[in-house]
């Protein structure tokens, strides 16, 4: 392998391997500095981008970032790649691919963009995203159409769904129910009603699944439930007859990262099959849900690629999508601001990462959502999450996460509020998933214009729902 | 908003039934959120008043030393946890032979340390009659694992790091206690025991935390270990 070079501002920079080209071409973020793979100057970053722009896309078929023999994610991706799907762009460079995507997006040619998904490797998506500006990521992201369904349909044009996340620090049934009802009254929950359990046990998982299922059944809500326990816990619950709509798992972009999460690819296959057998879908049969996030491989010490070199966190994130897409998920979301300032330091980095993750996920064929969120030691505030939310809405993001008043009292971080979802829908002219929208109409929770009503507690619609809390 | 929504409010600490202004939040709810976030942000970024804390800790009768990590400032500290686990170059600590070293570290909430560390340390020392305790160490820009090189240098068989925890929106002042047997650089997190959420009156009291820690210390000394092995034997943890 010969070193690749580019000259910027009179200085020639050399990049010995593909791993270094990818890492140093990545827009600045703290996690790559921590990993020791970031560009050491802005000029070096542009030099790496210049090298990357001239690489043929097929470079990524011939040359690996993480070795084929060492890593089952690389094998999964390459062994299941659809060569025909890549054909329209096979002859292009990465820079040419960016222009091709922008041209198709401007022409509104969704089928051309969407048709590539199964022919692209995660590294190809990562590479082109590194050349793109934020507006490029929005413009192309909104034309990569991915539609999935179980009891509601996710990803249709003009729709923005939300995961209602009624977490409680002790999984208290009444506490969970209160947050759940608050969300429904605000028109949230069309993507999923999904709880992060405080305790990862089959008994607790079953109790929470039955709780959500009871509310969904009582009010005939066209949505699905999920308890985001470890996949092995969900499998145990499923064996005991629990009403499992979706099997959930956090996934990473390397075999080592997935081992850190306690999962193998075979285990995910088994879980998907088990959920499919229950046949709980009405409008579709997507039964898996994955969460990802830049930095997860590094935090597990599983971020090294060919030659033991550190791989940048955004490329590794795309490889997690290469895992997820194998299991036909209903939902995938990046938890973009959760991991902390050592991976994404401030609002600029979080906003950039959120747009990259959405774009790359969609390009690779995933029903991509984003948990627009932050912790208190990251330099992000609600003004910044407003910015990212509105950008993601414009980018056609499939769903976002919402909790009461932005405050997750179990996981101790801030995500979007139910009001934030209403604002994004209103400003951008977006609507909930169609089945859920019809339910909101049936329950008279929206007015004739489709706006979620602001109800007093003694309004009949509110009383009908609040009865579930008694 | 009508009181009938109190059914929801009384069921959870979550911010339910906040009401709306159009699709946004009412102004008072918006300001409440900002106040909570401001407290959490200030807890992270307001530096620890080291002199004041040293004066307070001197009341225990023990010598008090100060160290800093290899992270030169808050911004570096937040982005480079590896530097927060190493002592600044040239740090010198007096070697000795002790049962226990106590390290008070600013962590992610210097405010928690300012509010609760001295009270917690006193309550712990009261329960350790007969233990030989090394000089107290106040550490800034410090992560939990900074206790390993400190404890090692002091010649302590066990180190306890008393550290400010990542502030939550409604808990900016939460203190954590981390016990490690045989401190030395490179110890894994699985070799530690943790008592979290020390923040009277909402969380654990100093006495509760000290009682639990004293039990863990006795068990650790007997077992010659800490972490997962000890957790199984020891009292229930928060």
Q: Are A195 and A437 in contact (CB under 8 A)?
A: no
Residue A310 with chain B: CB contacts under 8 Å: none
> Does the distance separating the beta carbons of A419 and B24 come in below 8 Å?
yes
Give per-residue pLDDT as tens, B156-215. Answer: 999 999 999 999 998 899 999 999 999 999 998 889 999 999 999 989 999 999 999 999
Looking at residue A396, the DSSP 8-state letter turns out to be T
In A, minimum Cα distance to B108 occurs at: A377
Instruction: Write down the pLDDT at residue A328.
Output: 98
Chunk chain A into consecutive blocks of 10 residues (it has 470) and report each block's average pLDDT, rounded to whole numbers: 87 97 98 98 98 98 97 98 98 98 98 98 98 98 98 98 96 96 97 94 95 97 97 96 98 96 97 97 98 95 97 98 98 96 98 98 98 97 98 98 96 96 98 98 96 92 84
3-state secondary structure chain B: CCHHHHHHHCCCCCCCCCCCECCECCHHHHHHHHHHHHHHHHHHHCCCCHHHHHHHHHCCCCCEEEEEECCCCHHHHHHCHHHHCCECCCCCCCCCCEEEEEEEECCCCHHHHHHHHHHHHHHHHHCCCCCCECCEEEEECCCHHHHHHHHHHHCEEEEEEEEECCCECCECCCEEEEEEECCCCCCCHHHEEEEEEECCCCCECHHHHHHHHHHHHHHHHHHCCCCHHHHHHCCCCC
Pairing assessment for the beta strands A399-402 and A413-414 based on DSSP bridges: unpaired
Q: Which residues of A are annotated as a binding site for adenosylcob(III)alamin?
A: 197, 249, 299, 410
Q: Å from A264 to nearest chain B CA?
A: 23
Q: Are A192 and A158 in contact (CB under 8 A)?
A: no
Q: Are B234 and B225 in contact (CB under 8 A)?
A: no
| Separation CA A209–CA A246 (nearest Å) | 10
| Separation CA A455–CA B179 (nearest Å) | 51
What CATH number labels A148-442? 3.20.20.70
Beta partners for residue A159, in sequence order: A431
3-class DSSP assignment, residue A368: strand
In A, minimum Cα distance to B171 occurs at: A412
A310: phi then psi, degrees, rounded to nearest 5? -70, 130
Q: Residue A138: how many CB atoms within 10 A of its CB?
A: 21
Tell me which residue has tokens 């550190």.
Answer: A310
- pLDDT of residue B232 exceeding 80, the answer is no
Q: Å from A434 to nearest chain B CA?
A: 20
Domains of chain B: 45-233 (3.40.50.11240)
Closest to A454 (Cβ–Cβ): which among B20, B44, B167? B20
Instruction: Write down the pLDDT at residue B189.
Output: 87
Q: Å from A10 to nearest chain B CA?
A: 31
Report the percentage of chain B scoring pLDDT > 90.
Answer: 89
Pairing assessment for the beta strands A288-292 and A161-164 based on DSSP bridges: unpaired
Domain boundaries, chain A: 148-442
| Separation CA A383–CA A123 (nearest Å) | 32
Interior CA angle at B100 toward B95 and B106, to 5°? Answer: 90
| Separation CA A344–CA A28 (nearest Å) | 9
Instruction: Write down the pLDDT at residue A393.
Output: 98
Q: How far is C-alpha B35 from the geometric centre of its chain's CA atoms?
A: 23
Q: Å from A269 to nearest chain B CA?
A: 30
Q: Which residues of A are annotated as a binding site?
A: 163-165, 196-197, 249, 291, 299, 371, 410
> Does the distance separating the beta carbons of A457 and B5 come in below 8 Å?
yes
> Does the distance separating the beta carbons of A169 and B81 come in below 8 Å?
no
Closest to A407 (Cβ–Cβ): which among B8, B14, B82? B14
Q: Å from A182 to nearest chain B CA?
A: 6
Nearest Cα neighbor of B62 from B10, B18, B118, B110 is B118
| Separation CA A2–CA A381 (nearest Å) | 45
In B, minimum Cα distance to A299 occurs at: B81
Mean pLDDT, residues B49-68 = 98
Instruction: Write down the pLDDT at residue A1.
Output: 55
Closest to A342 (Cβ–Cβ): which among B3, B43, B81? B81
In A, minimum Cα distance to B81 occurs at: A342
| Separation CA B33–CA B15 (nearest Å) | 10
Mean pLDDT, residues B124-143 = 97
Whether omega before A253 lies within 30 degrees of 0, making that bond cis, reads no
Q: Which residues of B are annotated as a binding site for adenosylcob(III)alamin?
A: 144, 165, 194
In B, minimum Cα distance to A470 occurs at: B7
Closest to B16 (Cβ–Cβ): which among A179, A426, A463? A179
Interface of B with A (CB under 8 A): 1-5, 7-9, 11-20, 23-25, 29, 33, 36-37, 40-41, 43-44, 78-82, 108, 166-172
Residue A136: half-sphere exposure toward Cβ, Cα within 13 Å = 16
> Does the distance separating the beta carbons of B78 and A341 come in below 8 Å?
yes
| Separation CA A188–CA A208 (nearest Å) | 18
> Does the distance separating the beta carbons of B17 and A168 come in below 8 Å?
no
Instruction: Write down the pLDDT at residue B171.
Output: 87
Mean pLDDT, residues B89-96 = 96
Mean pLDDT, residues B61-88 = 97
Higher-confidence residue of A300 and B4: namely A300
> Does the distance separating the beta carbons of B9 and A178 come in below 8 Å?
yes
Q: Spell out the residues 6+ positions from residue A404 whose beta carbon is closer than 8 angstroms to its own.
A: A166, A179, A182, A183, A417, A418, B12, B14, B15, B16, B18
Residue B108 with chain A: CB contacts under 8 Å: 377
Q: Residue A362: how many CB atoms within 10 A of its CB?
A: 30
Q: Residue A7: how many CB atoms within 10 A of its CB?
A: 11
Q: Spell out the residues 6+ positions from residue B80 whose beta carbon is closer than 8 angstroms to its own.
A: A33, A34, A342, B71
- Rg (C-alpha) for chain A, rounded Å, is 22
Tell me which residue has tokens 């009010």.
Answer: A219
Residue B231 pLDDT grade (very low, low, confident, very high; cuts 50, 70, 90): low
- pLDDT of residue B237 exceeding 50, the answer is no
> Does the distance separating the beta carbons of A407 and B170 come in below 8 Å?
yes
Residue A320, both tokens: 């997690």
Tell me which residue has tokens 């020390």.
Answer: B198
Angle between helices A382-394 and A347-363 (to 10 degrees): 20
């Amino acid at each position: 392998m010969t070193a690749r070079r580019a000259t910027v501002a009179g200085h020639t920079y050399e990049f010995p391997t593909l791993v270094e080209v990818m890492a140093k071409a990545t827009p600045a973020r703290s996690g790559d500095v921590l990993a020791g793979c970031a560009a050491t100057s802005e000029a070096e970053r542009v030099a790496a981008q210049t090298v990357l722009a001239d690489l043929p896309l097929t470079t990524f078929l011939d040359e690996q970032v993480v070795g084929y023999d060492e890593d089952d994610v690389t094998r999964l991706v390459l062994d299941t790649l659809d060569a025909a799907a890549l054909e329209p762009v096979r002859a292009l460079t990465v820079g040419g691919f960016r222009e091709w995507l922008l041209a198709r997006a401007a022409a509104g040619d969704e089928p051309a963009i969407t048709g590539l998904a199964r022919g692209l490797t995660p590294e190809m998506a990562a590479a082109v995203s590194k050349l793109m500006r934020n507006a490029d990521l929005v413009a192309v992201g909104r034309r990569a159409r991915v539609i999935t369904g179980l009891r509601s349909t996710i990803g249709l044009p003009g729709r923005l769904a939300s995961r209602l996340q009624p977490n409680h620090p002790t999984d208290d049934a009444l506490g969970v129910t209160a947050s759940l009802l608050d969300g429904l009254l605000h028109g949230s929950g069309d993507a999923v009603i999904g709880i992060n359990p405080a305790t990862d046990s089959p008994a607790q998982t079953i109790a929470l699944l039955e709780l959500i299922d009871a509310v969904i059944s009582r009010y005939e809500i066209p949505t699905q439930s999920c308890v985001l326990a470890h996949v092995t816990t969900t499998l145990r619950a499923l064996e005991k007859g629990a009403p499992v709509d979706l099997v959930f798992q956090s996934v990473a972009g390397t075999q080592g990262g997935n081992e850190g999460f306690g999962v193998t690819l075979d285990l995910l296959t088994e879980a998907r099959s088990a959920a499919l057998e229950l046949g709980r879908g009405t409008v579709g049969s997507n039964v898996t849900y994955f969460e990802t996030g830049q930095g997860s491989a590094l935090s597990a010490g599983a971020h090294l690629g060919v030659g033991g070199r550190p791989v940048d966190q955004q490329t590794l994130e795309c490889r997690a999508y290469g895992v997820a897409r194998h299991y036909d998920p209903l939902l995938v979301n990046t938890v973009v601001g959760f991991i902390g300032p050592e991976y994404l330091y401030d609002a600029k980095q979080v906003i950039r990462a959120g747009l990259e993750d959405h774009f790359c996920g969609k390009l690779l064929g995933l029903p991509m959502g984003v948990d627009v969120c932050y912790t208190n030691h990251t330099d992000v505030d609600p003004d910044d999450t407003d910015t990212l939310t509105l950008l993601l809405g414009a980018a056609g993001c499939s769903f976002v996460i919402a909790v009461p008043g932005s405050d997750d009292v179990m996981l101790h971080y801030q995500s979007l509020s139910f009001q934030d979802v209403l604002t994004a829908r209103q400003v951008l002219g977006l609507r909930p998933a169609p089945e859920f929208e019809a339910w909101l109409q049936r329950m008279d929770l929206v007015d004739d214009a489709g706006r979620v009503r602001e109800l007093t507690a003694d309004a009949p619609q509110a009383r009908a729902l609040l009865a579930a809390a008694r | 908003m009508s009181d009938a929504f109190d059914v929801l409010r009384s069921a959870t600490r979550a911010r339910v039934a906040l009401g709306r202004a159009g699709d946004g939040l009412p102004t008072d709810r918006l300001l409440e959120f900002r106040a909570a976030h401001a407290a959490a942000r200030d807890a992270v970024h307001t530096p620890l008043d080291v002199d004041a804390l040293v004066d307070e800790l001197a009341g225990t009768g023990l010598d008090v030393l100060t160290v800093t990590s290899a992270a030169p400032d808050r911004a570096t500290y937040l982005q480079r946890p590896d530097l927060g686990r190493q002592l600044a170059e040239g740090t010198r600590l007096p070697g000795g032979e002790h049962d226990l070293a106590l390290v008070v570290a600013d962590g992610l909430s210097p405010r928690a340390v300012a509010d609760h560390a001295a009270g917690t340390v006193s309550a712990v020392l009261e329960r350790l009659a007969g233990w030989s305790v090394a000089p107290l160490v106040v550490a800034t820009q410090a992560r939990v694992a900074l206790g390993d090189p400190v404890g090692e240098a002091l010649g302590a068989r066990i180190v306890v790091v008393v550290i400010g925890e990542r502030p939550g929106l409604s808990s900016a002042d939460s203190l954590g206690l981390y016990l490690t047997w045989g401190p030395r650089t490179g110890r894994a997190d699985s070799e530690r025991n943790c008592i979290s959420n020390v923040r009277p009156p909402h969380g654990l009291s100093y006495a509760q935390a000290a009682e639990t820690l004293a039990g863990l210390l006795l068990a650790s000394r007997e077992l010659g270990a800490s972490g997962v092995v000890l957790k199984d034997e020891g009292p229930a943890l928060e």
